[in-house]
Amino acid sequence: MSEEKKNCPITAKHIKVALVGQPNVGKSMLINSVSNSHLHVGNFSGVTVDKTEVLFDYKDYHFTVVDLPGTYAFTDYTIEERVTHDYLCAEEYDIIINVIDSTNIEKNLQLTSELLTMSKKIVIALNMSDEAEKEGIKIDVEYMSELLGVSCVKVSAVTKEGIEELIDTVILRHEDTKCKPKLVFSEAVEEEIATIVTYLSRHKYQAANTYRNIAINLLKNNKKTYEKLHDNPIWTELQPILIEASKHIELHHDSDDIKESFAEEYAAFNRGIVAEVVKQKQQIHKKTLTENIDSVLIHKYFGIPIFLFFMWMLFQLTFEIGAIPMDYIDAFFSWFGDTIGATIANDDIRSLIVDGIIAGVGAVVLFVPNIIILFIGIALLESTGYMSRVAFLLDGFFHKFGLHGQSFIPLVTGFGCSIPAYMSARILKNDRDRLLTLFIIGFMSCGARLPVYVLFAGAFFSAQMAGNILFIIYISGAILGLIAAKILKLTAFKGVDEPFVMEMPKYRLPSVKLIWHTVITRTMMYLKKAGTYIAAASMIVWFLSNYPHNEEIEKKYDTQITKVTDIKVKTKLQNKLAEELLGVSYLGQIGKFSEPIFAPLGFDWKMSVALQTGLAAKEVVVSTLGVLYSLGNNVSTNNNSLVNAISKNISFASAVAFIVVIMIYLPCLAASIVFTREAGHIKYFFYLFFFTSIIAYIMAFIAYHIVLIFVSV
């Protein structure tokens, strides 16, 4: 730890709380009701998973609450567990609030008993106490506090009961200098702990942790404790004692795994606590609500159709409702661009701001309604507990392609937009699974590619066929993605299959406040991140297509344009001017330079340029084609003249190859940047770039030649 961090001013009036608990115990709900109207919620994104920090004032104290990702045990198996584990071990904080689900105390205490060996101040929040009461579970809180040596408080994040008491207890505990959590093991283990403790105290070993906890950690094979002691001279004598102790404990538990033995020790201790403090009314075993819902939703035959129906509905809502405000947003940005443009005298600067930045950013903002609806849908799926059911249903199918059951969420999101899809891949715990999923998200055609497909389908097929063609394009993209996943799994991401062990939480009614909070945070992130990058990308594309200025051509056309009075001829000339200017611009030069590369796919330089500007955003492909085929800048998908120009200038085979490339290669610049951030290293971006480009090239080449054969026959 750096000196600077150590000197961090943690004053007496400042309490830093680490909120720890197993998943699905209502930690986030609790943090919301504790801080009530949260004064400041910031997202501190680590490499992959976020921990949230909330600040608020209570009485004379200034609180900082760090909401750590849920973790089943104090290990570093998954990314989320690693975040929590590392935070608790290495960061500075004053007190831990351990949140426990009152309806499932025994399971939750497993984490608690491990936390007790940390020599930190702990307060236990028995959350969902209202639910427990309904289920007839009675908890003797005072006795529990006494047995554990830790203050326990009954709370309910939903009814806000006991919240103040919890904070008061935290303050009380913070002022109290003593902390003596009690954790009693079986005789065999206690005996060995005593031996080690005596040894340590005899040698006056210096440590921040208590001797007892050091002894427990040593017996548990805790790596960090070992590292610390390993360089100490007492190690040579300590080692034989430890080996002897482990043997004794393993013998006692009839096991060859000391960690398993300790897990049993903890479980026994927890069973003891539960038996002492929890009184549950004997219930006649009747099916719970969750069991009833599950019997329908994860039904052998109906489960998957029901899921597909939900997905279909989500997409219908996303695109139907999302389309309503789109026109207004579009109108707003063109009005905004015109208004701003009118105030700028300089042609170049105006063009940069209006055609470059405002148009580019507008294109991103345009999708915000869709994204909000999609995020609400996903948040609903997540918070109700349905998500894990779907993972359960689909894991068998996905596993065949080397994917994890939970990969389906990012993949499905990918049909909307790749950016939220990359972000939602975080739900995958294992790095390899997550990377694999990130790599194939691009194969799910996002909404921005739709205009290109619509344009080409319209140019080469009748109106009735176009819809089917669109469907074929989407489906073949998804199938290609699955095949690509299989190939990647067999080559780059080779390795042992990640085990699939997942909790299926109880169904819960989602909290509106919590969903709203997640949706707003994620949407703001989308706007901020994608918006800034899109603005930058738009500026670059604008620059490349406008420079260098060729004044000769401009002059030649200008004189011609001023001579002509007929508006039709005038626009025609203006478009011709735009085309020639583009031809000599940097972008045109790039297009002509790269033409030989794309020649085997049947692309001319104009198509090559369109593909390259498409790297910035797929929406740009259509407008670039419009400019290049001299139809002016304002080309929309249903513009018939562009459709005509394309069917005239581009052969059917080249068009198919073009679609194939659009389908497979990088989604857009903003998505690429999000991808790099989520993957954690820039090298993955280059892998993705080469992987998708090579596949796109090969597939387009094959498609081109197959179509050529068919056409010639």
Partner 1 sequence: MIIILKKKYKEYEIMKTLLDCEKGCIAQILKLNAKDDLKQRLISFGIMKGSIIEVLEYAPRKSTIEVKIGSMRIALRAQEALLIEVAIV
Which stretch in 104-112, 177-185, 347-355, 450-458 sits in contact with partner 1 by CB under 8 A? 104-112
Nearer to partner 1, 192 or 395 (CB): 395
* Least distance (Å) between residue 98 CB and partner 1: 15
Round to whole Å and give the CA distance between 496 and 336.
Answer: 55
* Least distance (Å) between residue 385 CB and partner 1: 10
Tokens of 679: 């993957």
Round to whole Å and give the CA distance between 225 and 185.
Answer: 20
What stretch of H or E contains 268? helix 258-277
DSSP helix/strand/coil, 672 = helix
Nearer to partner 1, 22 or 424 (CB): 22
* Least distance (Å) between residue 46 CB and partner 1: 21
Nearer to partner 1, 233 or 499 (CB): 499
Q: What is the DSSP code (8-state) at residue 38?
A: -
Round to whole Å and give the CA distance between 549 and 272.
Answer: 82
DSSP helix/strand/coil, 54 = strand
* Least distance (Å) between residue 185 CB and partner 1: 16
Residue type, 237: E
Tokens of 656: 């198919």
Nearer to partner 1, 273 or 544 (CB): 273
* Least distance (Å) between residue 162 CB and partner 1: 22
* Least distance (Å) between residue 140 CB and partner 1: 19
Q: Of 649-668, which residues contact partner 1 (CB under 8 A)? A: none
222 lines the binding site for partner 1 (CB under 8 A)? no
Q: Of 231-290, which residues contact partner 1 (CB under 8 A)? A: 255, 257, 259-260, 263-264, 267, 290
Nearer to partner 1, 19 or 25 (CB): 25
Round to whole Å and give the CA distance between 694 and 42.
Answer: 40
For 459, residues 6+ apart whose C-beta sits below 8 A from its C-beta are 643, 644, 646, 647, 650, 655
Print the binding letters for residues 569-608 with partner 1: x by CB under 8 A, - otherwise. ----------------------------------------
Q: How buried is 285 (Cβ within 10 angstroms: 0-12 exposed, 13-18 middle, 19+ buried)? A: exposed
DSSP helix/strand/coil, 427 = helix
Q: What is the DSSP code (8-state) at residue 564?
A: -
Nearer to partner 1, 382 or 558 (CB): 382
Q: Of 148-177, which residues contact partner 1 (CB under 8 A)? A: none
**Among 269, 392, 456, 658, interactor with partner 1 by CB under 8 A:** 392
Residue in 551, 542, 549 with CA at minimum distance from that of residue 337: 542
Nearer to partner 1, 43 or 75 (CB): 75
Nearer to partner 1, 11 or 283 (CB): 283
Q: Of 488-547, which residues contact partner 1 (CB under 8 A)? A: 497, 499-506
Name the CA dihedral angle for 123, 128, 133, 134, rounded to a multiple of 10 degrees.
-170
Nearer to partner 1, 333 or 386 (CB): 386
* Least distance (Å) between residue 398 CB and partner 1: 10
* Least distance (Å) between residue 501 CB and partner 1: 5
Beta-strand pair 50-58/95-101: unpaired
Residue in 425, 392, 409 with CA at minimum distance from that of residue 500: 392
Which stretch in 390-398, 434-442, 585-593, 624-632 sits in contact with partner 1 by CB under 8 A? 390-398
CB of 75 closer than 8 Å to CB of 27:
no
What DSSP string runs through 608-655?
HHHHHHTTT-THHHHHHHHHHTTS-S---TT-HHHHHHHHHHS-HHHH
* Least distance (Å) between residue 104 CB and partner 1: 5
Number of residues that bind partner 1 (CB under 8 A): 42
Residue type, 38: H
Taking the alpha carbons of 132, 135, 137, 142 in that order, is the dihedral positive or negative?
positive
* Least distance (Å) between residue 75 CB and partner 1: 6
396 lines the binding site for partner 1 (CB under 8 A)? yes
* Least distance (Å) between residue 295 CB and partner 1: 8
Round to whole Å and give the CA distance between 469 and 454.
Answer: 9
Nearer to partner 1, 103 or 117 (CB): 103
Nearer to partner 1, 25 or 150 (CB): 25
* Least distance (Å) between residue 624 CB and partner 1: 46
Distance between first and last Cα of the chain: 72
Round to whole Å and give the CA distance between 181 and 264.
Answer: 19
Give residue for tokens 């996002």.
446
Give residue for tokens 């608790």.
88
CB of 686 closer than 8 Å to CB of 635:
no
395 lines the binding site for partner 1 (CB under 8 A)? yes
Tokens of 648: 């005239």
Nearer to partner 1, 436 or 444 (CB): 436
Q: Of 53-92, which residues contact partner 1 (CB under 8 A)? A: 72-73, 75, 77
Nearer to partner 1, 290 or 351 (CB): 290
**Cα 234–238–240 angle (5° rounding)?**
140
Q: How buried is 212 (Cβ within 10 angstroms: 0-12 exposed, 13-18 middle, 19+ buried)? A: middle
- What residues does 61 pair with on adjacent strands? 58
Nearer to partner 1, 164 or 264 (CB): 264
380 lines the binding site for partner 1 (CB under 8 A)? no
Which stretch in 99-107, 339-347, 465-473, 634-642 sits in contact with partner 1 by CB under 8 A? 99-107
Nearer to partner 1, 70 or 362 (CB): 70
Neighbours of 575 (CB within 10 A): 17
Which stretch in 31-39, 395-403, 441-449, 568-576 sits in contact with partner 1 by CB under 8 A? 395-403
Taking the alpha carbons of 190, 192, 198, 203 in that order, is the dihedral positive or negative?
negative
What separation in angstroms does the CA of 641 have from each of 9, 21, 578, 580? 68, 61, 17, 19
**Among 38, 58, 64, 110, interactor with partner 1 by CB under 8 A:** 110
Nearer to partner 1, 44 or 301 (CB): 301
* Least distance (Å) between residue 667 CB and partner 1: 31
**Among 383, 388, 545, 630, interactor with partner 1 by CB under 8 A:** 388
106 lines the binding site for partner 1 (CB under 8 A)? yes
* Least distance (Å) between residue 278 CB and partner 1: 12
Residue in 325, 318, 374 with CA at minimum distance from that of residue 522: 374
Judged by the rule CB under 8 A, the positions of this chain that interact with partner 1 are 72-73, 75, 77, 103-104, 106-107, 110, 255, 257, 259-260, 263-264, 267, 290-291, 294, 298, 300-301, 303-304, 388, 391-393, 395-397, 399, 405, 497, 499-506
